[in-house]
Amino acid sequence: MGFFMRLLLSHLLVILLAVAGVFISVELTAPGFYRAHVEEMVQTLGPAGADLRGHLEHGLRTTLSRALWASLPLSLLLATITAYISSRRVVSSVETLRRRSRALAQGDYRQRVQATGRDELADLAHHFNVLAAALERVEQGRTELIGNVAHELRAPLTALRGYADAMDDRVMPPEHAARAISREVAAMERLVRDLSLVSRVEAGQVELHLCPVRVSTLLQAVRERFALAYEEKGIVLRLPEFTTGSGQAALYADPERVTQILTNILGNALRHTPAGGEVDVSIGILKNNLVIAVSDTGPGIDADHLPRLFERFYRVDPARSRPGAGSGVGLTIARGLAEAMNGTLIAASGPGRGSVFTLTLPMYES
């Protein structure tokens, strides 16, 4: 027996039980009601009315029973129609969900259900649509991830094949080819490390060693790492004085991971800021958090790209997908590490006015 018939029969059973309840209630309560009226009529008619007591009581009882039986077919008909319409709507919604969920299970994540009304069925349809949209995004991300990884590996693999062919054809000395091959293998290893780290970060499984660390110590390490590179490109790198109060503040974070975040941000600023530009690092205190802002005088980023800036492999300019442009997951890792340390990393930018990356991390409270 199908779901519709079971639901309809359950409605009809409820109707029959309600009708039976009405008859039982009438049989239990009506006699006292019409007997009281019969007594009033007998007293009004006087002695002659005493002989009519039985006839009056029988007549009232018969009239009430006939009225109930006469109304029963129409009541059952209306109740059956109502039960049919209600059952049909429920079954139609369930059938639609069944078909769409089957298609969803087969990999068609574009399935959606029209949610009308404000009842539980509409709420169920809404949650189905939310689930389908989430699965569609996951599948799209998986497809993009496979394509991006293949794209990132294609360049070093092509180079490796070229160097191998050059060695076979004896057009390149083995020593030179070996160095080039080692360079490409190192690029592939770096990509694998980045992919492994971003997967751990997104899964919340990255290992952290939280401890108090002075901001001045972190910025000094960053200055030593980037000073020469900025000088060679002709870009001014400004860092705050470490003697200020905020410079002497301490974070409660993993120093290696914070350095990794700052290295990624300053590395991006170095790549995208033209010669003669400036990159300014400023620090401040907001409530119990320390704010590190890195601003540059680069070309800036369109507002349309900002929401996707921290997605894996997303690049504002596809032309940057070349050697030296990174693996494309640096900002994803940076934001994930910041959030893992109870902090945030946001970006603000606009065409022609540079970019500002703001890292916020909790301060250490002894």
What CATH number does the domain containing 185 carry?
A: 1.10.287.130
In the structure encoding, which two tokens stand for residue 218, read together?
Answer: 């972190």
pLDDT in tens, 299-331: 888 888 888 888 877 766 554 444 455 567 888
- 25 C-beta neighbours (distance < 10 Å), count: 10
Residues of the chain whose pLDDT is less than 70?
A: 1-8, 11, 26-27, 29-60, 64, 117, 242-247, 315-327, 366
Is 180 among the domain residues? Answer: yes
Is 220 among the domain residues? Answer: yes
Q: Domain range for residue 10?
A: 3-108
298 shares a domain with 169: no
327 shares a domain with 230: yes
Last residue of one domain, picked from the residues 108, 123, 157: 108
Last residue of one domain, picked from the residues 108, 133, 149: 108
Is 333 among the domain residues? Answer: yes
In the structure encoding, which two tokens stand for residue 57, read together?
Answer: 């009581």
The domain total for the chain is 3
In the structure encoding, which two tokens stand for residue 219, read together?
Answer: 């910025």
What is the CATH number for 324? Answer: 3.30.565.10
353 shares a domain with 221: yes
CB of 60 within 8 A of CB of 38? yes
- The pLDDT of residue 142 is 74
**In a 3-state reduction of DSSP, which class is residue 251?**
strand
Is 65 among the domain residues? Answer: yes
194 shares a domain with 247: no
Nearest to 339 by CA among 278, 254, 263: 254
- The model's pTM: 0.59
In the structure encoding, which two tokens stand for residue 292, read together?
Answer: 């590190």
pLDDT in tens, 142-200: 777 777 777 777 878 888 888 888 888 877 888 888 888 888 888 788 778 877 888 88
244 shares a domain with 309: yes
